[in-house]
Structures are given as C-alpha cells and as structure tokens.
Amino acid sequence: MEFASNSSERQGSDDMTSRTASKKRQRCVALVLDLQWPYRRHLDVFLGTQRYAQECGRWECVIDEYPQQLLAPRRSGPPAYDGIIARATPQLALQASRRGVPVVNVWHNSPAIALPAVFPDFFSAGKLAAAHLLERGLRRFACIMHPRNRTHQALLAGYRAALRETIFPCTVHATPSGAFTRNEAAWKKGQQTLAGWIGSWQCPMGGFVAFNDCTARYVVNVCHRRQLRIPEDVALVVADNDLPVCLQPSPTLTGLDLAYERAGYEAARLLDRLMDGAQPPAEPILVPGNGIHARQSTDFFATDDELVLAAMRFIASRLQDPLGVNDVARAVAASRRTLERRFHQIVGQPVSAEVRRLRIERAKRLLLDTDLPIKQVARAAGFAGNVSMYQVFRRFVRLSPSEFRAARSSLD
C-alpha cells in the first residue's frame, strides 16, 4: 500500500511538471485580421492581441491571412499553429477543427457562428447612442444601417430597445454596404436615396449612423445641401470613433467607442485558455464599450420652447466667457425668474447647472481630442482657471482633468 501511494504521488508530481512545462512552452499563434484593409477596428483588435501577447511572454504571433493552407490534411507533422485569432471563414473553421487547432472568432458577421467568439457589446452600444440623443431633448429618431449586417442589426436593436421605452418614433434607412463605394452609378443612386430619406424627416431629428464614419460624413453633406443645421436640426451619433474622420472637417462627430482593442485582448486571453485545454464558452463573450465621445454633432438641446432654445444657443455661443444667469436672461429678454422656471420645466435643472454641464462636456472633448495644456483647456471651456476646472472635475467627474485624459487615453 505504501509503494502504491508513493507511486501515485510521483505520478501526480510528474503530471504537474508536465503541465507546467506545457504552459511555459512557446506557442505559435496565427492572426487573421484583414490588416490589409485600413480599418481602425481591425488594427485595434490586433493591438489588443499584441498587448496580451506581450504580457503573456510566450507567444510567437504570425500575421497570416490564409493559415488554412498550413492546416491542410495532406501536410504531415504537427499543425503549424497552436491557436488562431481570426475574422474566421467557414473554410478556416473546418480545417482548424480537423487538425484540433483552437480558433477564436472576432468577426461579428462571420458565417462560422459555432466558433468561440469575442465581440464588442453592440446591443448595449446602440442603447447608449439612443440615451445620448434622448438626453438632448430629441423626440424623433433615425438610423441608417445595412439590413444584412449582423453588427448593424445588433446596434439597431439596442437603439430601438431604448426608444421603445419612450414610445418615440424611429425611421430606418436600410442601405446596401456598397451603395456609396461600388461604382459611380451606385454612388449616385445611394446619394439620391439618402437625400430622399433625409428630405422626409421632421426636424429636429436624432440620427444614428450604424455604418462607418465616412457614411456619417455623407449624411452631413446631404444635410448641408438641404440647409439642415448640425446639430440644431439634425444631431448625429456614429457607431465608430475613427478620429481622423470624426475630428475633421467641421462639425466634429460624436462617436461610440466600441472597445475593439479590449475585444482583441479578451480574444487572446480566451485563446490561451483554449490552448490549455479549457472548454469553450457556450455563448460569445461580449466586451462592454468605453462610452461615447460627445462632440459638435450632438452639442445641442432640442425643444419646442423658443425661450429655452434661445437661451441654450446663447450659452453655447458664449461658453468660453464669464456667464451668469442674469447674462442669459438679458440675452433672451426674459426675467431671471421666468427663465429659471422654464429651464426647470424643460431641461430639468437650473441654468447654472446646465452651463456647468456644457463646460464639463467641452473640456472633456478638448482633453480627449487635443493635446492642449490643461490651462488652455480650462480657458477654452469657460472656467475661471485650471484650479476651478480641477475642483469641478473632482466633484462631478470624480477624476482630475489630467486623470480623465490619462484614463481615457489608456483605453483608446
């Protein structure tokens, strides 16, 4: 009995040593992420995988857009890769399954839906877009999307779910993905149908562009041709946050930060577990977004109350200057008491609180979208100085301006 016990202990020790050695072994991981296409989301997923690989310290990553060639059954010896993170095709899924190589899918529209997967939480992002527009007092809404794109479907479902709770109408324009890019004829037709749809709107309108930022620019162009102001007549949120296109030309575009880099990181972490022999999750892992970056395209409060609307426009135009409630009341030819009463009825808070909120939002945009020193940000947002802005941020944002800039930059 004693011999059997010792043998069992040695066997257990050997198994543990074997598992430890296996875990420390260098692994070769293929990345199939369509990096030849200049999409920020593809690059962000890639960056997330590399951040995990660096922390892990035992991955050799290979960018290979067709790894199934090295997984073909006719090839002898062990598989070329220990695991794969991919915008997965059915062919890749089949070949990897035959060779016993785990694959994590990061393409929401992939036909290989049975693979373990990690995606941004598009449904929650759609709800966030609707909530952002509702906070601006809008009561009519629109969405442009591709009818067969599962990402767009999830974004629209979340958007509509938030609006159903308010019983406000939403018009949807279903546009094929190649409507603006396939050829000149398709471009012309796409522009005509887009213009016809926008021409049917009753403004003010809250618009959500489930396509990329370039499509949002096409919407802006049509609005300008129809003399619709942004954001006064049309407030826009776009599902991407690609800075070069969001920040120029004017107006800057409010965008959702869908946390693709974090999704890439979580995909790499899941693959590591699968390569260790863990069971795949029953459902895709959904990664929460990093929030919304509010910019000029939604810098507005919509209301039919002309007094409140005039006050909001005056505040927005003078935000960088010293601004008190009496200044606003004089500008709109109303008594302070009347203005405050109407503000409480429509906006739900005093004039001073709305001025502070708008200054905080402007400061946030400048902190995230520019490299301006804190002192210049404070001045441009209308604070008395950087100390004043620091105190307001600490109280209402729970971070200092520098901490806010650093925290959000680390997520981008």
pLDDT of residue 1: 31
Average the pLDDT over 356-376 and give the result. 86
pLDDT of residue 17: 41
Q: Please tell me the class of the 306-411 domain.
A: mainly alpha
Q: Greater confidence, 76 or 17?
A: 76
The yes or no reply on domain 122-258 and CATH 3.40.50.2300 is yes
Q: Find, among 45, 17, 16, 13, the residue nearest to 32 by Cα.
A: 45
Confidence of residue 409 (pLDDT cuts 50, 70, 90): low
State pLDDT tens for residues 115-134.
999 999 999 999 999 999 98
Q: Greater confidence, 136 or 18?
A: 136
State pLDDT tens for residues 145-173.
999 999 999 999 999 999 987 788 899 99
pLDDT of residue 75: 61
Q: Greater confidence, 357 or 391?
A: 391
Asked if residue 22 has pLDDT above 60, the reply is: no
395: how many CB neighbours lie within 10 A of its CB? 9
Confidence of residue 352 (pLDDT cuts 50, 70, 90): very high
Mean pLDDT of the chain: 87
Asked if residue 15 has pLDDT above 60, the reply is: no
Q: Greater confidence, 76 or 191?
A: 191
Please tell me if the domain spanning 2-120+262-290 has the same topology as the one spanning 306-411: no
State pLDDT tens for residues 78-117.
788 999 999 999 999 999 999 999 999 999 999 999 999 9
Average the pLDDT over 53-65 and give the result. 93
pLDDT of residue 177: 66
Cβ-based burial of 172 (10 A; exposed 0-12, middle 13-18, buried ≥19) = middle
pLDDT of residue 235: 96
Domain boundaries, the chain: 2-120+262-290, 122-258, 306-411
Q: Greater confidence, 113 or 24?
A: 113
Q: What proportion of the chain, given as a percentage, has pLDDT over 90?
A: 58
The yes or no reply on domain 2-120+262-290 and CATH 3.30.470.30 is no
Average the pLDDT over 234-263 and give the result. 92
pLDDT of residue 402: 92
Q: What is the 3-state secondary structure (H, E, C) of the chain?
A: CHHHHHHHHHHHHHHHHHHHHHHHCCEEEEEECCCCCCCHHHHHHHHHHHHHHHHHCCEEEEECCCHHHHHCCCCCCCCCCCEEEECCCHHHHHHHHHHCCCEEECCCCCCCCCCCEEEECHHHHHHHHHHHHHCCCCCCEEEEECCCCHHHHHHHHHHHHHHHCCCCCEEEEECCCCCCCCCHHHHHHHHHHHHHHHHCCCCCEEEEECCCHHHHHHHHHHHHHCCCCCCCCEEEEECCCCHHHHHCCCCCCEEEECCHHHHHHHHHHHHHHHHCCCCCCCCCEEECCCEEECCHHHCCCCCCCHHHHHHHHHHHHCCCCCCCHHHHHHHCCCCHHHHHHHHHHHCCCCHHHHHHHHHHHHHHHHHHHCCCCHHHHHHHCCCCCHHHHHHHHHHHCCCCHHHHHHHHHHHC
**Which amino acid, 312?**
M
pLDDT of residue 341: 93
Average the pLDDT over 322-336 and give the result. 93
Q: Greater confidence, 330 or 167?
A: 330
